[in-house]
Structure 1
């Protein structure tokens, strides 16, 4: 089986997908825009062939690269990046080379928030009220219905850095004067706890792995107010998330894919869907999956691709696993050595974070696991405690 991975070196931990494919017997091909010897040695060792392009955004270059691989190795069976940045290119290449998986028309429903909202409503999932607005008048019509504050975000998916919270009419009119020319979605502001429903589907659209995470803040809040990030997995998934998640996976036709669905919990039992992502969640969350259930989801994904088999069907969520990030501009009460000395038995991974997500994840990341949620809260408080 010929599997093509786009940008296999980013994020840093995603090279493990290539290693898993190699172990499963696949021919592993890769395209990226860095020199071959800039790839880590563990990645180079498992690649059958590598093609460097000058610009990953240049689709003509990507077409030539895939054409070259097809000439050299025969038909490409899968094309994947697991990366938000390249989902559109993945989908176009799959369509142009007749490869199994998500094609552009299907991808649109997760790339545009307005189309995503239509899918949610058709599936009977509670959604945040909102619409695409083209003028201050359009916006004021929505404000009269939902009140202030409202959130403005580009209709086409980008990270939360382009999201604006609007508190009054003055800010609304200023937003329209200064905004980019792209279409924007305006939504009511929801107060609630951010939850995710994450997992993996097989080739037939069945959910074979699932979990759920609770976040201390949304990405928008962390970015706009420079807050610390912390989130942790649950050992028992709320019934509503299981129900909504299954309906959304079916509605979007997610087959042989990781998914990341985001919800607000607005009261004890009620959840409202925010967005659906056809990719693994960011940061170290893939590794958190593995630590929580003592499984290897990199390998299980590869087994699904090559053998149409998920071998960890009897997995159990043995632990709560949390990510705790620290910002470089904070004066923390406890040093890194203090943390390891006090909670070293619970810390399963530590990493200096890099790249575009540092503003949200922080520059230092601790992965902690415990069967007891109270211990998780204790470690989060200790790591985030600042000097007075």
Structure 2
């Protein structure tokens, strides 16, 4: 009789929709072992029912507590087969635990390549995908030399970082000097040429052999940095078709990083001349409502398909991309013409979900979010415009 596999879910309670990974993993016969800092009695009932056991730590940032949790699971249940959070914030913790417990997946030695933007850029270049010019600089004089090569404006951000945190658009030497005075001294920064364009993504999931079994693509109305600084509505949507050039570049990048049994989210600039340029890759599903939007756009259950990949290395859904699916935020401090009841009446059964955004994501995604879908792009954009009015 085959041994029951043990899957450790890091941050089992957050984000809330990720509990469906735990549910589907249990459904395919795995022991699902949760670690988190949330109180067990406050976990959603569905999550409790999905977990074989839950280990609460006081702080998930304390590695010794995380190590003891996995050690306890290994002692009680045997070999640990998977450790995963699907969360950028815990990427290094996941890798460290996998290294210490000899679990398949990214390990400590992989972190430099998958966390540092300079290393990502090296892979993009190696597989023949264009990326913004730039490099890590060591001091203000080096920065001034580099900006002469690139020309203003430039973008400066931590070489290892998430989203728009500590990202600067530098338009002149005064901006550069202000950045240098306010920078974090223990952080390594990369400077890149500023690229004008809209952000398009290539997203998907690979099986245990590294084959892409699911793919999708988002178009964003603005970047995360703009959404935070402008406090304006932020929307994005899944397209029904993926341009051939974008798909080809995305597949090259996935192969270049040798991704196996993993979600990925690759961002590109679509430039004014119609060409694509790689921005960065995230080794996780898209944030916010992104995972659920995969389901709404395709009438599939991507949580189930992930569990099928882990347990059986099979992807069984028929992906035909029948819908465009969009998300739009409403930021605080602005009056909108249509309340939620009016939105429900206007969108009808094409309003798939109304979301109260977790506090951590409010600066980017807004206080309230709306997920809608339609078979025609014009119809989808009409609903997004109605919500934003």
- What TM bracket, shorter-length normalisation? over 0.9
Structure 1's unaligned 5+ residue stretches are none
SS in 2 for 1:227: coil
**Residue 176 in 1 paired to residue 157 in 2?**
no
CA contact (8 A) 1:240 1:269 kept: no
Structure 2's unaligned 5+ residue stretches are none
Partner of 1:349: 353
Distance in 2, matches of 1:348 and 1:185, equals 40
Correspondence 1:157-172 to 2 at 5 A? 157-172=161-176
Partner of 1:38: 42
**Residue 323 in 1 paired to residue 327 in 2?**
yes
Partner of 2:91: 87
Task: Quote how far apart the aligned CAs of 1:142 are.
Answer: 2.1
Within the candidate set 249, 253, 261, 1:248 is matched to 253
Partner of 2:132: 128
Task: Quote how far apart the aligned CAs of 1:254 are.
Answer: 0.9
Partner of 2:382: 378
Distance in 2, matches of 1:118 and 1:224, equals 29
Partner of 2:214: 209
SS in 1 for 2:33: strand
**Residue 267 in 1 paired to residue 290 in 2?**
no
Distance in 2, matches of 1:222 and 1:250, equals 31
Within the candidate set 332, 336, 341, 1:332 is matched to 336
String of CA shifts for 1:78-134, please: whole Å, max 9, x gaps: 000001111101111111111111112223212111111111111111001111112
Distance in 1, matches of 2:109 and 2:270, equals 31
Partner of 2:223: 218
CA contact (8 A) 2:26 2:50 kept: yes
Partner of 2:152: 148
Normalization by structure 1: what TM-score? 0.97
String of CA shifts for 1:164-218, please: whole Å, max 9, x gaps: 1111101101211111011111111111010011110000000000000000000
String of CA shifts for 1:45-85, please: whole Å, max 9, x gaps: 11001111111111111111111101100000000000111
223-232 or 263-272, larger mean C-alpha shift = 263-272
Distance in 2, matches of 1:98 and 1:319, equals 41
Task: Quote how far apart the aligned CAs of 1:331 are.
Answer: 0.8
Distance in 2, matches of 1:303 and 1:329, equals 44
Distance in 1, matches of 2:378 and 2:171, equals 36
Task: Quote how far apart the aligned CAs of 1:268 are.
Answer: 5.1
Partner of 2:204: 199
SS in 2 for 1:331: coil
Partner of 2:309: 304
CA contact (8 A) 2:13 2:38 kept: no
Task: Quote how far apart the aligned CAs of 1:373 are.
Answer: 0.3
**Residue 59 in 1 paired to residue 63 in 2?**
yes
Task: Quote how far apart the aligned CAs of 1:269 are.
Answer: 3.5
CA contact (8 A) 1:161 1:223 kept: no
Distance in 2, matches of 1:144 and 1:351, equals 45
Distance in 2, matches of 1:174 and 1:351, equals 38
Distance in 1, matches of 2:272 and 2:208, equals 35
Task: Quote how far apart the aligned CAs of 1:283 are.
Answer: 0.5
String of CA shifts for 1:139-169, please: whole Å, max 9, x gaps: 2222212211111101112231311111110
Q: What number of residue pairs does the alignment pair up? A: 384
CA contact (8 A) 2:32 2:53 kept: yes
Within the candidate set 100, 114, 120, 1:116 is matched to 120
Q: 1:167 to 1:268 in 2, by over 3 A?
A: closer
Distance in 2, matches of 1:309 and 1:338, equals 42
Normalization by structure 2: what TM-score? 0.97
**Residue 238 in 1 paired to residue 243 in 2?**
yes
CA contact (8 A) 1:260 1:276 kept: yes
